[in-house]
Amino acid sequence: MPSKKYADTDFFLALLKDSDWLKEKAKKIYEENKGGIYVTPFTIVEVMVVCIREGILLKETLIQMSRIAAIAFMHWDLFFQAADYIEKGASIFDALLMAFAGENTIISSDKTYEKFGFDVINLSK
C-alpha cells in the first residue's frame, strides 16, 4: 500500500495563489499524487490565517483545498507526539503536521521535516 502524502501550507498556497515560485512544482506533485494527499486540520487553520492576513478569499480557498486533499484523523497520542517535536525545536504547526504524518511522506519546501527524519517531497527542488 502506497504511503499517504501529508501536504504543508506552502503546497496549498503554491497551487491556489495566482502566482507563486513553487506553483509549477506543486502542480506536478499534485498530478503525481492525486487521491493520496492528506491535510491536517492544523494546516487548514494555518492556510486560513494566511488567507485572512493576505486578503485571499477564504471560503474559495477551503473549497479548493477540499478538492485536493482528505482530512486526517485525530487522537490524543498525536498531540503528545507533537509536544515532543516542539520540545525538540519544531514550531507548533510543523510539530502537529509531523505527528499526523507519522511514517508517511510530507510535501513541503520547509527544511524542518528532513531534520526530524521525515521523507519529504521537496517543493523547492
Instruction: Say which DSSP state 56 is in.
Output: -
> How many Cα atoms sit within 13 Å of 64 on the Cβ side?
17
Which amino acid, 25? K
The secondary element (H helix, E strand) that includes residue 108 is: strand 105-108
Structural domains of the chain sorted by starting position, each given as residue range(s) with its CATH number in brackets: 5-122 (3.40.50.1010)
- Whether the model pTM is above 0.85: no
- Tell me the three cell numbers of residue 107: 510535501
Each residue's pLDDT tens digit, 6-65: 999 999 999 988 899 999 999 999 999 999 999 999 999 999 999 999 999 999 999 999
